[in-house]
Amino acid sequence: MDRESELAIVRRAYAKQVMAAAGVADRRIEAAFAAVRREAFLGPGPWPIVRWGRGYMTTPSGDPVYLYADVLVGIIPERDLNNGLPSFLAALIASGGPCAGEHAVHIGAGIGYYTAIIAHLVGRAGRVTAIEYDPVLADRLAANFAGQRHVRVLEGDGARAEFATADVIFVNAGATRPADSWLDRLTEGGRLILPLTTDKGFHGSETIPLDRRGAVFRIARSGDEFRARWISPVAIFPCEGARDPASEAVLAAAFANGRWKEVTRLYRRGDLPEEQCWLRAPGWCLAYR
Ligand SMILES: C[S@@+](CC[C@H](N)C(=O)[O-])C[C@H]1O[C@@H](n2cnc3c(N)ncnc32)[C@H](O)[C@@H]1O
């Protein structure tokens, strides 16, 4: 058997393990993880892999088999900027539910491995806009999708970049508030996958439990209403352009109060009664009803 056929079998086993770890049963997403070659995006190995409690450890060789595990792979280890955990991203992608033919926007695309998974799900009839803030990574991202006309790569701040209305927007970095453009540009029925993190939500103190440092919310548009629900705790690289000290303070206070799982609505106004809100900030709220 040739090496590519061997790796295709390894990837099928990896995809099954990722889905099990994510608690997701979705054959389309499993097929996407089985199809996309992680090494094609990360470049040649050996690769730095996060081994819990031991920091980054370099793989023994450049054999791609080391990438097909539920592991974080360093992209810029000096900045703790990693290719995210497959099971975590699988769960977020499942929550966003990109369908064939849809327009997906991926903010914080890095070098594009998960962009490619999303692109696989929307297919050739759909399209992906991938936005990356770091210019060096944005160059690598553009090179990784050269010639693929259904993936458009933009360098810049995803909170300010121009993009067409989207059926699903995946933010892959920690914000303290939703950018207006993310809410404005959701289609009817569109979904926004939004990690909200406190300043302890990346290099956080271990004394604060993970679920009090950050959370991913799913926001779905229905007319002028936005339904919201908690998906998971998160610690993630900060989102430049979607963080400010005032909204961080409100977020930190909300996490200290608990009850994030009771959130059902996002409102684009800040004048709701306090007892209705998990988080009440100038111009927006996450509320219980
Ligand atoms: C946690 S990393 C994820 C990278 C990629 N999704 C992956 O898993 O390989 C977050 C990425 O978001 C990028 N980023 C941060 N703020 C951004 C913004 N405002 N717009 C676009 N990208 C941003 C960072 O440069 C970084 O590459």
How are beta strands 265-267 and 225-233 bridged, if at all? antiparallel
Q: Residue 81, exposed/middle/buried by CB under 10 A (0-12, 13-18, 19+)? A: middle
Q: Calculate how far, in angstroms, residue 154's C-alpha sits from the geometric centre of ligand 1.
A: 12
> Could you tell me the distance, in angstroms and rounded to a whole number, from the CA of residue 107 to the centre of ligand 1?
7
CA distance 127 to 207: 42
- Chain-centroid distance, C-alpha 268: 23
Structure confidence at residue 208 as a pLDDT band (50, 70, 90): confident
30, 36, 50 from 11: Cα distances, Å: 10, 8, 20
Q: What average pLDDT score do residues 182-210 get?
A: 88
User: Which residue's CA is the nearest one to ligand 1's atom 1?
Assistant: 237
In this prediction, residue 172 carries a pLDDT of: 98
Q: Taking residues 120-128, what's their average pLDDT?
A: 98
| Cβ burial 146-166 (10 Å sphere, 16+ → b, else e) | eebeebbbbbebbbebebeeb
pLDDT for residue 200: 84
CB-based contacts of 130: which residues, under 8 Å, 6+ apart?
105, 106, 109, 112, 115, 141, 145, 151, 152, 153, 154
Counting atoms of ligand 1 from 1, which one is nearest the CA of 236? Answer: 1
For residues 118 and 225, what is the distance between their CA atoms, to the nearest angstrom? 26
pLDDT, mean over the chain: 96
Task: Give 234 Cα–ligand 1 centroid separation in angstroms.
Answer: 14
Q: Which residue is closest in CA terms to ligand 1's atom 15?
A: 239
Q: What is the pLDDT of residues 214-232, one digit of tens each?
A: 999 999 999 999 999 999 9
- Beta-carbon-side half-sphere exposure of residue 223 (alpha carbons within 13 Å): 1
Judged by DSSP in three states, 141 sits in helix
**Helix, strand counts (H, E) of the chain:** 8, 14
The pLDDT assigned to 205 comes to 62
Pair of tokens at residue 75:
């992209």
Q: What is the pLDDT of residues 58-115, one digit of tens each?
A: 999 999 999 999 999 999 999 999 999 999 999 999 999 999 999 999 999 999 999 9
| Best of 80, 118, 240 for a ligand 1 pocket test (most atoms within 8 Å of beta carbon) | 240
Q: What number is the average pLDDT over the span 173-178?
A: 98
